[in-house]
Amino acid sequence: MRPLSSPLSRATLLFAFLLGLLLPSPTQAQQAVRADTLYPMTGDGPIVDGVVLIEGSTIAEVGPASEVDVPSGATVHEATVATPGLIDPRGTVGVSGLENVPADQDQLDTSAPIQPSLRAIDAYNPREDLVRFVRQLGITTVHTGHAPGALVSGQTATFSTTGGTVAQSLKDSLTTVAFTLGPDAQMRFESPGTRSKGVAMLRQELHDAQAAMDDEGPTTDLGQATLQKVLRGDVPALVTAHRAHDIQAALRLQEEFGFDLILDGASEAYLVAEEIAAADVPVILHPTMTRPSGTNQNAAFTTAATLHEAGVPVAIQSGWEPYVPKTRVVLYEAAIAVANGLPRRAALASITRVPAQVLGLENIGTLAPGQTADLALFDGDPFEYTSHVCTVLSAGDVVSDECK
């Protein structure tokens, strides 16, 4: 090939180079989502004929199509309804697996009743088929880890449902420490044998950790170090308590030690909704369709609505149950809550914005400039059984494009 040696050729090349510097790169705003109805979940109402402009992994602009310029050449994803990527605020996905065999059941260690040093990050499998299953249904983030069933079952963590390695999926390596009060913490162990013994054992552990905080130098006891993070307010205590008197015990412990409390499960929360609201404690509520047996035998379809009316922040979880595949789907659980009195926008918030706020996940849960580009695109009303999730974006990448 002959060199560009003429003055005209060199000038043309220089002009093209300068023009390339001035014009925006095609990767700066290469995707857009356009929906008949867009739910940003930022506090404003839905946007009719809305657009989300995406630059790389981040949302650049959100608004009506009449106000958002979509660059020519951008990939445009069309939807009837678009929402933030859904968040499962409490489950064991990725720690428990789809096949329900011993090799994929790491959600609960029963060798001791108090094990705060156990880390979800050490058990999470990002390639687990159950992770892929929930991703296809619009869930882009899971808060997962050790299940209820021990006084302190271990630590939880938060992951994106995409990524081939733990490092690629990880959002938060220590989101909460999981506690359980009531009979669910007693059935697998010789001790505690009663509710009062369980609370006494927890109080002793917390007092010991508190006393050790005054010692010079960091502790080498991993469990005690974890409880000290709870006592300092660095990490919330996620306390599973279903019966009303177990919920009240959790509130007493929180008042005594001053830690940040998130109530988990809370089947009988409707009986003490005013107390929960007065304590300013959020609830990650049991799946609406949970089986009413054992400690949650008095679960009600209307609990989410009751707590919402009382001013309690409510997120709806997938939970954990001892059957294949040990998880439910939060989208369906929120839909049933709508059918039982929870306002539609509050139900959508319960699986997007509210869990992000409760769990301290700052960059997800809403559609706004600067947020991570996690979106779920539907071919109809998300809470209608006949609707499907047809496209899922995680950090700007299309991770599912088949209607499910």
pLDDT more than 70, % of the chain: 92
What pLDDT, in 10s, does the model give residues 79-93?
999 999 999 999 999
pTM, 2 dp: 0.92
For residue 148, is pLDDT > 90?
Answer: yes
Q: According to the model, what pLDDT value does residue 213 have?
A: 87
Confidence of residue 326 (pLDDT cuts 50, 70, 90): confident
Domains contained in the chain, CATH given = 28-84+368-400 (2.30.40.10), 86-358 (3.20.20.140)
Query: Burial letters for 222-242: b for 16+ Cβ neighbours within 10 Å, e otherwise?
Result: ebbbbbbbbbeeebbbbbbbb
pLDDT at 70: 96
Least reliable range by pLDDT among 101-105, 211-215, 303-307: 211-215
Q: Does the pLDDT value for residue 324 go beyond 90? A: no
Name the band, by pLDDT with cuts 50, 70 and 90, for residue 184: very high
pLDDT of residue 173: 98
pLDDT, the chain, mean: 92
Six-digit token string for 214: 């005054």
Residue whose C-alpha is closest to residue 239's, from 271, 212, 266, 204: 266
Which range is least confidently modeled, 4-8, 128-132, 258-262, 313-317? 4-8
Task: Give me the long-range contacts of 203-207 (CB less than 8 A, separation at least 24).
Answer: 203/253, 203/256, 205/114, 205/152, 206/230, 206/231, 206/253, 206/257
Sign of CA dihedral 61, 65, 69, 70: positive
How high is the pLDDT of residue 216?
66
| pLDDT > 60? residue 8 | no
Least confident range of 28-32, 253-257, 318-322, 356-360: 28-32
User: For 159-181, how does the pLDDT look when each residue is reduced to its tens digit (9 = 90+)?
Assistant: 999 999 999 999 999 999 999 99
Q: Residue 145 — left, alpha, or beta (φ > 0 → left; ψ -120 to 50 → alpha)?
A: left
Tens digit of each residue's pLDDT (9 = 90 or more) over 22-52: 444 444 449 999 999 999 999 889 999 999 9
Angle at which helix 195-212 crosses helix 244-257, to 10 degrees, equals 20
